[in-house]
Chains A and B, each alone.
Chain A
């Protein structure tokens, strides 16, 4: 090796070391944000699932007698009247979903479908992208798993955990899309639900349980990321960053 080649190698190694230091510094902070985001998402999806369960359970029970006199629902003046057989009165304030005689699919159901579509697609795709990035990072950085560099070993654990995390995110996104599939099978117009009341309720419960599964995966992902905090701190110490322990 000529002196120039030696300088180049040293300079490349130095640049690579600086890049790894940068990645460790900035991505630890990003990991913290992501871990909290996953928890928030898990909580949000759990709440949405619980809203569906209220109606799913209600539609599978025997119908209760109407609380008010019946209306001629062909008269547009009565279009905003609540469907006494489809809405569990005491749960509406919490669930925020209201079936009205003349409105068809409630707006809240439409918004939930949009959320499942957007968040499901987002996490299914983003998880796949991150998983591929982590496979590449493993290939390039597994060199740090060396008897001579014990202070860098925590990075190997971080990459390994992040690959699992990425796949969890992708799976949680896919589960949200499956929940959407269940909801798409339901015709949410009052007449259609009345014709298939129990079957519609069952589909709502299947969607809700799939959302519960997605929330559990998001939550596991968040917990796994949080458990990695110490490994990030140890790896940062490899670059001379202060490590409060």
Chain B
């Protein structure tokens, strides 16, 4: 059963990924390519690593999915992690295209605008994943 502490940890990982994606969006909106491309690909891979870890954690916490648990807190946490995981496959799928796109851009010497598509998609899906986790944070669990 995921605890409130676990849920907060997954939320923080998603927030980190969002921060990294926001930095990437900022860079891509200014970048003309060239020397920056390798660094952009590296930064994108770092987000993939973060999201892969987060997704694995959520999947492990969700187990086989929500069950008819008799403890309301268990039921709530289990549903939250299961629902939060849903958009992350799409986020990782989109970011998985970045290396090939970088190769295409380098080979053809074109602009980097196309990279904004997977990066913005990943951003969108991370925000979607954050919602169910944020809703499951119970302030009473943080009171000593």
Complex formed: what's the CA distance from A224 to B86 in Å?
13
Could you mark each residue 85-127 of chain B with 1 if its beta carbon is under 8 Å from any beta carbon of chain A, else 0? 0110110011001000100110010110110011001000100
Which of B67, B93, B111 has the most chain A CB within a 10 Å cutoff?
A: B93
Q: State which of B67, B121, B131 has its C-beta within 8 Å of the C-beta of A156.
A: B121
Q: State which of B89, B97, B113, B118 has its C-beta within 8 Å of the C-beta of A163.
A: B89
CB-based nearest A residue for B67: A178
Among A12-20, A91-99, A105-113, A145-153, the one that faces the other chain is A145-153
Q: Which residues of A contact B67 (CB under 8 A)?
A: 178, 181
- Interface hits, A172-186 → B, CB 8 Å: 174-175, 178, 181-182, 185
Complex formed: what's the CA distance from A66 to B46 in Å?
67
A156 to B111, Cβ gap below 8 A?
no
B83 to A217, Cβ gap below 8 A?
yes
- Residues of A within 8 Å of B, CB-based: how many? 32
Q: Which residues of A contact B118 (CB under 8 A)?
A: 145, 156
Q: State which of A142, A146, A171, A210 has its C-beta within 8 Å of the C-beta of B75.
A: A210
Q: Which residues of B contact A189 (CB under 8 A)?
A: none
CB-based nearest A residue for B93: A138
A174 to B66, Cβ gap below 8 A?
yes
* Cβ of A64 to closest chain B Cβ, rounded Å: 25
Q: State which of A150, A156, A168, A178 has its C-beta within 8 Å of the C-beta of B68.
A: A178
* Cβ of B116 to closest chain A Cβ, rounded Å: 9
Q: Which residues of B contact A237 (CB under 8 A)?
A: none
Q: Which residues of A contact B54 (CB under 8 A)?
A: none
* Cβ of B113 to closest chain A Cβ, rounded Å: 7
Interface residue? B79 (CB, 8 A): yes
Q: State which of B72, B76, B110 has its C-beta within 8 Å of the C-beta of A147.
A: B110
Complex formed: what's the CA distance from A145 to B65 in Å?
33
Q: State which of B68, B93, B110 has its C-beta within 8 Å of the C-beta of A160.
A: B93
A213 to B79, Cβ gap below 8 A?
yes
Known pairs A145-B118, A178-B66; A168 contacts B72 (CB<8 A): no
* Cβ of B45 to closest chain A Cβ, rounded Å: 18
Complex formed: what's the CA distance from A163 to B96 in Å?
15
* Cβ of B96 to closest chain A Cβ, rounded Å: 9
B90 to A160, Cβ gap below 8 A?
yes
Interface residue? A28 (CB, 8 A): no
Complex formed: what's the CA distance from A138 to B114 in Å?
16
* Cβ of A228 to closest chain B Cβ, rounded Å: 11
A147 to B83, Cβ gap below 8 A?
no
Known pairs A138-B93, A147-B105, A163-B90; A209 contacts B113 (CB<8 A): no
B83 to A160, Cβ gap below 8 A?
no
CB-based nearest B residue for A185: B68
Known pairs A145-B114, A163-B90; A210 contacts B121 (CB<8 A): no
CB-based nearest A residue for B86: A167
Known pairs A206-B68, A206-B70, A210-B79; A147 contacts B104 (CB<8 A): yes
* Cβ of B127 to closest chain A Cβ, rounded Å: 11
Interface residue? B11 (CB, 8 A): no
Complex formed: what's the CA distance from A206 to B79 in Å?
12
Q: Which residues of B contact A174 (CB under 8 A)?
A: 65-66
Which residues on A are within 8 Å of B, measured CB to CB? 138, 142, 145-148, 150, 153, 156-157, 160-161, 163-164, 167-168, 171, 174-175, 178, 181-182, 185, 202, 205-206, 209-210, 213, 217, 220, 224
